[in-house]
Structure 1
Amino acid sequence: MSIEVRPAVVFEDVAALVGPKRPESTVCWCLSYRIPSRLNNELRGQERGAYVARLLEDGPLGVLAYDGEEPVGWAAVAPRSATTFARNRKIPHVDDLPVWSLWCIRVRPGHRGQGISHALIEGAVAFARERGAPALEAYPLDNGGVKVDQTMAYPGLRANFEAAGFHHAADTTSVLSGHPRILMRRDLD
């Protein structure tokens, strides 16, 4: 298997990773941290996919991992200032650098355990670096090696970010699925 990570620009490929199995279902579409909470709560069913399609008209929303032409993984990455992390009270700002945020990693069932999440993290680093980000932050679970439900592992795991050269930059007051989230950072200069 040869994994290639590319900017997420093709709607159908993004939909394959973060869209619903049934079009009328209301699922995250990885919008929860990208748009204001009120709008996120108002968008229902197919409106969410339509909103993502409009966002893609302005450029990539992150990166996708491909096995050949099949999309098998997703990572949401954007300037922190363009996300709700810009004003999140549970996840602190370490400094005033215009950092980027990596907040969601998803690998399709049947493709897990093959290093795709590691490729996605490196792809997100390259994506942010190419766009001038001085550093990339992530907010993974500090699970201490304990198994995490796949549904709630979307922010990634501390060990995966450590393996990618990220360092612990701050504790947070955010907890997800019983595990604390920490702020990790990788300088891109």
Structure 2
Amino acid sequence: MPEIVISPASRGRFDDAQHTLSGGGDGRSCQCQWWMMTNAEFQRASHEERRALLREEVESGFPAPALIAYVDGEAAGWVRVGPRAAQVRIGRTRYIAGHTPEPLDDPDVWAVSCFVVRREHRGRGLNARLLAAAVDFAREQGARLVEAYPIDTTVGKKPANELYHGILSVFEAAGFHEVARPKPDRVIVALELDRNGR
């Protein structure tokens, strides 16, 4: 059995973040900035500018902007988790903003918004492990509720690059419940946190 360790993407781990994000899909070009910028800002930003923004988040951000899963010491998976209000695109995404029951400016609502797993490490349940760690991390930082926007893969076939949102069944297995379904395959899920444990 491989050893899996999940750690915050904090100072000194930027190279690990880059290794994870370069393992397939859009992570390398996006640099996990999609949710952190308006659409106009994202379209204007070059790859190097997005990379610099992520470096700044990892090296100086508190709390860490994401968690990294290490498989036998190799950076293999990534999940962005943080205050929802800081992920500016969420509040500007109509299907989310128009259907979430939580006030968009509530600092106690956190969001799990992006997963990346390197190709060679897929199929090992890393998304579930990352999600569990993200929930624990949000609780430790004082979050009241964690929200997410997974894809229901039972509704039509989805290209792999769209699955960065996460898969509904993984969230359901972790105890999240559906609060809205703005589109047949797009779901808003939430998990209330007991700050003394689940």
Counterpart position of 2:9: 8
From 49, 56, 78, the equivalent of 1:74 is 78
- Alpha carbons 2:150, 2:165 under 8 Å: kept: yes
RMSD: 2.1
Distance 1:148 1:115 in 2: 19
- Alpha carbons 2:84, 2:111 under 8 Å: kept: yes
1:100-142 CA-partner distances (Å, limit 9, x unpaired): 1111111111111111111000011011111111111110001
Q: Which runs of 5+ in 2 are unaligned?
A: none
The structure with the greater share of residues assigned to helix is 2
SS in 2 for 1:165: coil
2:91 maps to 1:86 = yes
SS in 1 for 2:136: helix
2:171 maps to 1:161 = yes
- Taking structure 1 as the reference length, the TM-score comes to 0.87
2:41 maps to 1:39 = yes
Shift of 1:182: 0.4
**Superposed, which structure 2 residues align to 1:69-148 within 5 Å?**
69-83=73-87, 84-91=89-96, 92-96=99-103, 97=106, 98-144=108-154, 148=158
Q: Which runs of 5+ in 1 are unaligned?
A: 174-178
From 180, 184, 188, the equivalent of 2:189 is 184
SS in 2 for 1:159: helix
**Corresponding pairs, count:** 181
Distance 1:33 1:129 in 2: 21
Over the matched positions of the two proteins, sequence identity in percent amounts to 33
Shift of 1:144: 1.3
Distance 1:156 1:93 in 2: 17
Distance 1:112 1:7 in 2: 20
Shift of 1:19: 4.7
The list of structure 1 runs, each at least 4 consecutive aligned residues, that deviate by more than 3 angstroms after superposition, is 145-148
2:21 maps to 1:18 = yes
Distance 2:79 2:73 in 1: 17
